[in-house]
Amino acid sequence: MSRGVFFVIVAILSAIFGVLMFLAPGVAAQSFGVEASSATSAIFRVLGTNLLSVGLLNFLVRNHPASATLRAVLWLNISAHGLGAIADIWSVAAGDLILSRIALGFVSHAIIGLGSIYYLARMEAETPALRG
């Protein structure tokens, strides 16, 4: 798969989760096994705006050539989804969330994080001058 297609997939996944969390935070909370409340709605809306913004960024750089900026976007994906996966595991281990309820989000974190590592490594192998 090309890097451009990967970025489009990231943008679509971000849009799906982001729109759900932003426009229907109660539904998002319940789908993750969290009791919907005004507090969880506020948190899910904020998370939704972040996901929509990250998705937009990924969509906008989908056809960019290798550059320091594209490298930074890939690092953003690695950190956001790596930390997201850690937060998911932590929340399940603490008993706050149920793995089966967050599995789809966890798989999305893994796909985006690992894919970003792959494309970053590939870009750096092809363009060593971009390494920071």
Place of tokens 């913004």: 53
**42-92 tens-digit pLDDT:** 999 999 999 999 999 999 999 999 999 999 999 999 999 999 999 999 999
**What confidence tier does 5 reach under pLDDT thresholds 50, 70, 90?**
very high
Scanning 1-132, the segments in alpha helix (DSSP H) are: 3-23, 25-31, 38-60, 68-93, 99-126
| Average pLDDT for 21-47 | 94
Structural domain boundaries, residue 73: 3-130
Over its C-alpha atoms, the chain yields an Rg (Å, rounded) of 16
**101-126 tens-digit pLDDT:** 999 999 999 999 999 999 999 998 88
Per-residue pLDDT at 122: 94
Is the pLDDT reported for residue 40 higher than 80?
yes
Average pLDDT, the chain: 94
Query: How many independent structural domains does the chain possess?
Result: 1
What lies within 8 Å, CB to CB, of 62 at 6+ separation is: 3, 4, 7, 8, 11
Encoding tokens for residue 93? 């281990």
Per-residue pLDDT at 132: 60
Encoding tokens for residue 16? 């799906």
| Identity of residue 78 | I
Is the pLDDT reported for residue 95 higher than 70?
yes
